[in-house]
A and B are shown apart, each in its own frame.
Chain A
Amino acid sequence: MKYAVRALGWATKIFWIFIIAFSATSVYSAMNVRMSFGEPQLSLSNEILVISIPLFINNSGFYDLSELNITVDVMDYNGSLVLTSTTFVPLIPRDSSVETMHNVSMSLDDIISKAEIYLFNDTIFNLDMSMKLNFARVVPFQVSMNKTIPWGAPLYNFSVGGISYDYHNVTHQRVIIPLSFENHSPYFGVDGTMHIEMYNDGGEVIASGTSSLDVPSNSKYEGQVELIVDVLKLTPSGEMHFYFETSMFSFGPVVMSYG
């Protein structure tokens, strides 16, 4: 009995020492892990746009970090995935640094198909970020964050007002097209050009023109474009095609009918 009691007493003491030592060194090691991101780089392959963000991890603690998994998901208002990115690092040994790339991939098809929604409608994006790792191979650790990002449309409420016609000469007329939109984007201004093509009801281009745009964030644009149209080709109804070429995006045609 005495030996059993003594053995249990020693086992308890050894376990206590081990746990206290492990807890103290774990806290010290966790404080000595440094993580930083570098300059993002863009690349395009197989119609997938990839933004690569260099990731540096310096583990100068006492324990290995394993199975590091960083995931970023961006979903739009109806829950469909806009972009996703995952980085997996199997092992970061103690007293070592690891440099890897965190790749954020976007399908160009998706971007183009949804561009019209994002350019003309305000919406929200849900950002889910999570980082998982195994500390010292026995303590799984996870940090996650959920953020809602409001998206302001740069061409919100783009509309064409009542078209008016003025006499230019015997063969041509001046068409005045009032345009307006609001740049709701808090991130960038709409600066560049807007190209307009006017079609008659036969599908023939009857006039075209370009207007410059300089609409800062959170401001309204109200302007008009004048086109010279051949009177013989002008029909009471038709279509107008708008092409936008700005520092942030190129988009077109936006088709609007008149008449």
Chain B
Amino acid sequence: MVEKGNAKLFLRKILPKVFKATLLAVIAYLPMYFLSALISPLQPLFPWYEPLTNIFAAVFIFFLVVGVFFSGTVFQYVFGVARMLVLMIFFIYVLNGGIINLTVPVEGESINIMLNVTVVLAMLVLICLLGIAKNVIQAIDFMSGKAETKEM
């Protein structure tokens, strides 16, 4: 009877998290999938893009899912910080540190294209830093709230 109740409680707690984690993973994966589909015709110009994008996507989704499963604990925020760090490294890597150099072969000649997107990268990094700051503040808030509850 007790075991049945525990199983019910477990399902009631875990199932919504599984559902939420799946939904978030799908939502997080969709932009990456569409970006890959959009870039695939230009794949020869971005040879570095495809292999590591999938790894970054996998790591990002892993931290997202783990964060959902650990929601209600301080680890939720720890994984949130890790997720934002992964995203920040991903942006720095994909945008080649802000300077994108491409070599496009045109009629036997190679044309070099250089795009300086440092400003855009700075904004993306700023977004990630804001995300990290938000998670840190939430973690501090969570811990202080817990300490207050203990004292009472």
Say whether B137 contacts A15, CB under 8 Å. no
Given A8-B134, A141-B115, A142-B113, the answer on whether A2 and B120 have CB atoms closer than 8 Å is no
Query: What string of 1s and 0s marks CB contacts (under 8 Å) between A1-31 and chain B?
Result: 1101100110110011011001100000000
Q: Residues of A contacting B116 with CB < 8 Å?
A: 139-141
- Interface segment out of the listed A143-151, A159-167, A177-185: A143-151
Q: Which of B115-134 contact A (CB under 8 A)?
A: 115-117, 119-120, 123-124, 126-127, 130-131, 133-134
In the complex, A138 has a CB within 8 A of chain B: yes
Say whether B130 contacts A11, CB under 8 Å. yes
Given A12-B131, A145-B109, A147-B109, the answer on whether A19 and B120 have CB atoms closer than 8 Å is yes
Say whether B123 contacts A8, CB under 8 Å. no
Q: Residues of B contacting A23 with CB < 8 Å?
A: 120
Bound-state Cα–Cα, A138 to B123, Å: 12
Bound-state Cα–Cα, A19 to B31, Å: 15
Given A8-B134, A16-B127, A19-B127, the answer on whether A1 and B141 have CB atoms closer than 8 Å is yes
Say whether A5 contacts B141, CB under 8 Å. yes
By DSSP majority rule, is chain A's interface helix, strand, loop, or mixed? helix
Q: Which of A8, A11, A18, A147 has the most CB of B within 10 A?
A: A8
By DSSP majority rule, is chain B's interface helix, strand, loop, or mixed? helix
- Residue from B113, B123, B137 in contact with A4 in the complex, judged by beta carbons closer than 8 Å: B137
In the complex, B22 has a CB within 8 A of chain A: no
Say whether B114 contacts A9, CB under 8 Å. no
Say whether A2 contacts B114, CB under 8 Å. no
Given A142-B113, A143-B111, the answer on whether A1 and B126 have CB atoms closer than 8 Å is no
Bound-state Cα–Cα, A11 to B120, Å: 16
Say whether A145 contacts B111, CB under 8 Å. yes
- Residue from B117, B126, B127, B133 in contact with A139 in the complex, judged by beta carbons closer than 8 Å: B117
In the complex, B140 has a CB within 8 A of chain A: yes
Bound-state Cα–Cα, A143 to B131, Å: 36
Closest-CB distance, B84 to chain A (whole angstroms): 10
Say whether B114 contacts A139, CB under 8 Å. no
Say whether B114 contacts A141, CB under 8 Å. yes
In the complex, B112 has a CB within 8 A of chain A: yes
Say whether B140 contacts A1, CB under 8 Å. yes
**Residue positions of A touching B, CB distance < 8 A:** 1-2, 4-5, 8-9, 11-12, 15-16, 18-19, 22-23, 138-147
9 other contacts beyond A1-B144, A5-B134, A140-B116, with CB at 8 A cut-off? A5-B138, A11-B130, A12-B131, A18-B123, A19-B127, A139-B115, A141-B114, A142-B115, A146-B110
User: Can you list 14 A-B contacts with CB-CB less than 8 angstroms, sorted by A residue number?
Assistant: A5-B134, A8-B130, A8-B131, A8-B133, A8-B137, A11-B130, A12-B134, A15-B130, A19-B124, A140-B115, A140-B116, A142-B112, A144-B111, A147-B109
Top 8 nearest A-B pairs by Cβ distance?
A8-B134, A1-B141, A140-B116, A142-B114, A138-B119, A15-B127, A144-B112, A12-B130
